[in-house]
Amino acid sequence: MWTSAPALRRTVVTAVIALLLCFVALSRPAAAAEPPPPLFVVAVDDATMTPGQESTLRVTFTNRETTPVQFVYVMLREYKADFLGCTGTSWCSYGQDNTGMLVFNLTAPQVPIAPGESRTVQLRFRFRADLDCASHWTTDFRVWYSHYEYGQGQAAEVFDPPESIAHSTLVCPAT
């Protein structure tokens, strides 16, 4: 079978262009998936405090699942501060079962939490008045453990998520 030279050239040119386009498409870096938001973000109102001073700690939970979260249980540990109460929770307890442990949960009406939505809990605390401020205690408020339930009864447990730390340093009052 005989093919004319112009038709053969068109076929070769088309094949070369297609091959070049494939190389260009394959040489581009793949679009990186955006990392999921942190499960917990912990923030404290005052980065430095004096003995006996009160402040607020905020713990924000973000639903990273694809279905609503129906229940959240969180434990925070801190020995240098006394927790005074909480808002935005269904229930909270401090030190009743474990010394230095604050426990709270989110149930109705704080849940369900739709995918991508967040809930923030505010926790009032006070640095203990008997701490030696000259030592410049730094306390790390962190989510120590959490359990949440989503979908059709699935559950997730998280221990010490790295993004869940806020710091406050105890300083002496100005004289």
Q: What is the DSSP string of 27-38?
A: HSPPPPPPPPPP
Which position has the token pair 């410049």? Answer: 136
Q: How confident is the model at residue 173 (pLDDT cuts 50, 70, 90)?
A: confident
pLDDT for the residue numbered 163: 65
pLDDT for the residue numbered 144: 81
In a 3-state reduction of DSSP, which class is residue 16? helix
- CATH number at 40-170: 2.60.40.680
Percent of the chain at pLDDT above 90? Answer: 12
Spell out the residues 6+ positions from residue 135 whose beta carbon is closer than 8 angstroms to its own. 170
CA 69 vs. chain centroid, Å, equals 15
CA distance readout (Å), 174 to 37, 157, 171: 39, 44, 9
Average pLDDT over residues 20-46: 72
Bridge partners (DSSP) of residue 89 are: none
pLDDT for the residue numbered 116: 92
